[in-house]
Every structure is written in C-alpha cells, then in structure tokens.
Chain A
Amino acid sequence: EAGVVQSPRYKIIEKKQPVAFWCNPISGHNTLYWYLQNLGQGPELLIRYENEEAVDDSQLPKDRFSAERLKGVDSTLKIQPAELGDSAVYLCASSLGYRTYNEQFFGPGTRLTVL
C-alpha cells in the first residue's frame, strides 16, 4: 500500500514568489494534516481537514498561506508571497479519523528554501 505522497520534495524560490505543495494521502484516510517543521524543531500543525472541510486552521497564517482539499482526497498548500522565514520542511500526514488514537502517517515532506 502506498504511503502519503508529497511533491515536490525540494523547492527553491526567491522571496515574494508564490509556491505550492501537493499531498496525496493514504487511500481511505478522511483526515489530512499539514505541518510546518523548522530546522531543529518538531512539527507544528498548520491545518487539519476532515474530508473537504478545514476543521482546525487556527495556526495557519492566513495573510499569505492558503490550503484546499478538493473532493476530500488530494490537498494543496500555497504560500503567496513567500518570505525568507518560510524556509522549512512542510509535512503532510493522514489518518483514518480525527481521534488521537488514529495513527497519523507522514509523508517525506517538501523542503522549501526561500532566497
């Protein structure tokens, strides 16, 4: 069974440019998460989806970040415009349900470098 797929794996852009990350969760997983992982730190939740609905986006900087999960499967996270401080790894995870006992499966992440 395929795991969580993310693309691209690496992205280098100049500041003020837009960037988008794509995530394909494990088949059948209704819950999808986007995490931000700064260098030397643990992941921090940006947004959680239950099917198509964003149910927890309190940590998403909405002035420049947006996300969508059309048809409740794939998801895209966008930054526009990117800033130097956005350089980090963006992780996507999915789980069968939103309860804590449902294991979250993580993708390999997208490493973003903003110059």
Chain B
Amino acid sequence: QKEVEQDPGPLSVPEGAIVSLNCTYSNSAFQYFMWYRQYSRKGPELLMYTYSSGNKEDGRFTAQVDKSSKYISLFIRDSQPSDSATYLCAMKETSGSRLTFGEGTQLTVNP
C-alpha cells in the first residue's frame, strides 16, 4: 500500500465549477501538507501549504487537512481553464526533509 493515495483522474469540469481534489495517507507522522500544480511540460509549483489540521484559504483555493481521517483536500472555486493542470499532494513528517508525493490528479476545466 502506498503511503499517499491520490486519484489520478482525469477529472473534467465546466468553467465555473467547484473542484475537489483529495489525497489519503497512512502515515500518522505526517504534519506538513502541500499542494503542487504542474502544467504540461513544466516543473511543479507550490500552490498551498498547511501545517497540521485545519483550513487555509488563498483566493479561489482552499486547502483542508483532517488528520483524524488522514485525508486532505484542495478546493478550487470558480474554476478557470487556466486551472487545467495536474495537481499533486505532498506530505512531510516533522523530522527530516523528505516529501512524499501523491501520483497527481489531472484536471481539465472546459470553457
């Protein structure tokens, strides 16, 4: 079983829809949680970062962490065609610098 599970999609939504992207994990030592966005043929870029449980909002993006369920989510409101990309979740324990990545979910927002 992988430490981090992420539905690879592909996920296709109409412009303006609310998008929900999710990851589950098995390692209860994970404390830092991140979401990366990767456009085709580009390197991943850090989109959201949270520590421990709770919510974090940045514009149209909201990241949620539920440590009791070992479940994290990224919500995109009013999705735009420019949001079309692969979204990867990543997690880290308190010690060490190793990030564990999900496989990524491919999202397409149709105009």
The answer to whether A binds B is no
Residues of A within 8 A of B (CB): none
